Amino acid sequence: ETGVTQSPTHLIKTRGQQVTLRCSSQSGHNTVSWYQQALGQGPQFIFQYYREEENGRGNFPPRFSGLQFPNYSSELNVNALELDDSALYLCASSLDRGHYGYTFGSGTRLTVV
Amino acid sequence: TQLLEQSPQFLSIQEGENLTVYCNSSSVFSSLQWYRQEPGEGPVLLVTVVTGGEVKKLKRLTFQFGDARKDSSLHITAAQTGDTGLYLCAGGDSSASKIIFGSGTRLSIRP
């Protein structure tokens, strides 16, 4: 079975720009969750998609938005980038919302300059 | 707001020693997970515990979920240099719509 794949692996953007990060979930998984991890910190929950619907959201502004597609892959979009958005963005897939654990991708390192 | 506090934040010990990492909250969780993360990689799931008082063993690692499902511990016996990494606990509510993570314990094992 394939794991979770994220693209791109690294990205540099300018403040004010928009970015789209992509995630292919593990085969058989129907839930994708997105996390932001600042250096030296634990991952912070952004939102979760379950069967193409947003199923929960953390304390992130509306300029963070997402999608889940019929094949359960997902996108994270961030508008009007700020310097503080620089972080590792992690995608995690799971079966049925992740009560028993997630499979994470290796992340996208976003740098906003 | 649910919060998970991990302690200690940093731990550096000699190879062969034992250690315990703690994960505490004032909230009740329906499940608690432990992950290990290496630099430049995503976290890797080690174990999930769901029953209060549950103890799970994974080779030299022992995980315990508190009776009240508010806390957990990870004990490593005879630490090895390969155990080095960031250890994260994560808790889920009953709907599992949000799994929150602690800030992690950075473990360094000296040869």
pLDDT of residue A99: 79
Contact across the interface for B98 and A56, Cβ inside 8 Å? yes
Q: Which residue of A has its CA nearest to B33?
A: A101
- A76 touches A92 (CB < 8 A): no
Contacts of B64 (CB under 8 A, 6+ apart): B49, B53, B54, B55, B72, B73, B75
Q: Which of A102, A108, A109 to mutate to test the interface with B (most CBs of B within 10 A)?
A: A102
> For A12-50, how does the pLDDT look when each residue is reduced to its tens digit (9 = 90+)?
999 999 999 999 999 889 999 999 999 989 999 999 999
All residues of chain A having their beta carbon less than 8 Å from the beta carbon of residue B34 are: none
pLDDT over 70 for what percent of chain A? 99
Hey, is the C-beta of B105 within 8 angstroms of any chain A C-beta?
Answer: no
pLDDT over 90 for what percent of chain A? 87
Q: Which residue of A has its CA nearest to B40?
A: A106
- Rounded to a whole number, what is the largest CA-CA distance in chain A? 39
Contact across the interface for A99 and B45, Cβ inside 8 Å? no
Hey, is the C-beta of B95 within 8 angstroms of any chain A C-beta?
Answer: yes
Per-residue confidence band for A75, with pLDDT thresholds at 50, 70 and 90: very high
Of residues A98 and B38, more confidently modeled: B38
> For B46-87, how does the pLDDT look when each residue is reduced to its tens digit (9 = 90+)?
999 999 999 999 999 999 999 999 999 999 999 999 999 999
Of residues B92 and B14, more confidently modeled: B14
Hey, is the C-beta of B84 within 8 angstroms of any chain A C-beta?
Answer: no
Hey, is the C-beta of B39 within 8 angstroms of any chain A C-beta?
Answer: no
Nearest neighbour of B96 by CB, restricted to A42, A90, A97: A97
Q: Is residue A97 scored above 90 in pLDDT?
A: no
Q: What would the mean pLDDT of B6-35 be, rounded to a whole number?
A: 95
Contact across the interface for B48 and A100, Cβ inside 8 Å? yes
Please give the C-alpha separations between residue B60 and each of B17, B19, B63, B64, B76, in angstroms, as whole numbers. Answer: 12, 11, 10, 13, 6
**How far is Cα B71 from Cα B21, in angstroms, rounded to an integer?**
11
Hey, is the C-beta of B88 within 8 angstroms of any chain A C-beta?
Answer: yes
Q: Is residue A105 scored above 80 in pLDDT?
A: yes
Of residues B104 and B97, more confidently modeled: B104
